[in-house]
Amino acid sequence: MNNLNLIPFGLHVPSASLADVGSVKKGAQCDCICPSCKTPLIARQGEIKEWHFAHQSRSTEQETEAPCEYSLGVSLRLMIKQLFEEVAVFYLPEYKKSFSVPIPGCSSCYQQTVLISQEAKVQFDDVAIEHKKEEVMFDLVLTKGKHQLYVYITYKERPFPEKLLHHKQEDAIIEFNVFALLNAFSEAKMGQYKEILAMFLASSAEGKKWRFHPREVEALQKIINHVTDNKDALVAQYGEKFSGITSKPFPRVKKTTRAASVPSIPSLLPISVPSNPSLRPEKAPVSPERKAQQSEEAKQALYGALNNCRVLLGSFDASLTKGTSAQETVIGKVDSLSPQYLHRCMSCGDDWKGASNQCSTCQTHEHTRSVFGQ
């Protein structure tokens, strides 16, 4: 099914449930209406084109409750909810996340890619249909033991609410773009879309994207601890002492994947120190004028200016670009930054300088912006 105007599911009025076009009578006798605009539907079951529902002619316009714009996305979204009321099986995609943590005393950052979760087919214990969380209506809340997974269904007219990720999260969140189903639907015979949809939900990772996983917090903290415990070795390896603001690209780090049954953090063993660091060429000294310029740029970045300075955020709440700037990096709570770092709390407005990004007034790091200064 490549035509986005085709409707695979209709609301069967006699049963008050969604039905695919292959399970109802042909033509206007299907007794179905559009789940979006409530217009009567026709079941088109021809021999050439894909089977699908179509709105009846404009002569039935008086029977239409509202203009129809999103019939495909709405019908898919509603059928997914209906299926989860019957069977609570969902195939979860693999999730890898890259972290970047500043190295104290060095202008580079330590990067590590972590396997947060492996692909898995999960039979959930309980399903809640539609649940409002932080002003966002999630389509599904899937429960397994003590853990909950929030599912938000997206399509062209219903994008993922990115603002949700700017707040601290505790529960897992997955985005599911239903248009990934269209290729699978092209294999449907005689309009049996419901069966294909059920198989897709239970066996395919396509279209599913992790937006947050609670293990991210643990993974980031382990990397921060590793950097703190091995800062001398890391400075020796990455080599560059602080000389002001830098726009040097991050060093490349090999991705690590383990086949363990429980996802784990890749090896964070101390890094070996080069045998003779003194052989590295010395950097040219920075002029006083350039230092003054860098200091001014750092202060401007602290207050939201977009320049070459890298800004470290206590959380997304400290972002002034809603996470869209590549110059902003979330690092969480850190007490081992260089003493030269400048900090500003976006909640209370306090400014300070030092190794910790914890605001002494608010007693939290979540609203702190940090920039290396002179």
The residue from 213, 235, 268 where one domain ends is 213
Cα distances (Å, whole numbers) of residue 55 to 35, 275, 348: 11, 75, 56
Q: Say if CB 54 and CB 44 are below 8 A apart.
A: yes
In a domain, 242, yes or no: no
**Rounded Cα distance, 21 and 56, in Å:** 15
pLDDT given at position 262: 34
In a domain, 199, yes or no: yes
Do residue 294 and residue 373 come from a single domain? Answer: yes
Question: DSSP state, 60?
Answer: G
- Classified as helix, coil or strand, 188 is coil
pLDDT given at position 141: 94
In a domain, 195, yes or no: yes
- Classified as helix, coil or strand, 153 is strand
Do residue 204 and residue 125 come from a single domain? Answer: yes
Do residue 143 and residue 52 come from a single domain? Answer: no
**Rounded Cα distance, 181 and 199, in Å:** 11
The residue from 186, 213, 240 where one domain ends is 213
- Residue 172: which H helix or E strand, with range? strand 172-177
In a domain, 280, yes or no: no
Among 296, 298, 306, 291, CA closest to 343: 298
The residue from 188, 213, 238 where one domain ends is 213
**Rounded Cα distance, 21 and 1, in Å:** 13
pLDDT given at position 284: 53
Instruction: Tell me, yes or no, if the pTM score tops 0.75.
Output: no
In a domain, 272, yes or no: no
In a domain, 150, yes or no: yes
In a domain, 166, yes or no: yes
Question: How many residues does this entry show for the chain?
Answer: 374
The number of angstroms, rounded, from the C-alpha of 363 to the middle of its chain's C-alpha atoms is 28
Do residue 53 and residue 150 come from a single domain? Answer: no
**For residue 284, with 0-12 CB atoms within 10 Å meaning exposed, 13-18 middle and 19 or more buried, which class applies?**
exposed
Q: Say if CB 337 and CB 357 are below 8 A apart.
A: yes
Pairing mode, if any, of strands 311-313 and 328-330?
Answer: parallel
Provide long-range contacts, Cβ within 8 A and 24+ apart, for 55-62. Answer: 56/28
pLDDT given at position 3: 53
pLDDT given at position 197: 84
Do residue 204 and residue 93 come from a single domain? Answer: yes
In the chain, how many domains are there? 3
Q: In the chain, which stretches have pLDDT less than 70?
A: 1-6, 47-48, 50, 57-71, 167, 186-191, 239-286, 321-326, 374
Q: Say if CB 122 and CB 144 are below 8 A apart.
A: yes
Among 9, 45, 2, CA closest to 190: 45
Query: Domain range holding 31?
Result: 9-69
Cβ–Cβ contacts within 10 Å for residue 203, how many? Answer: 11
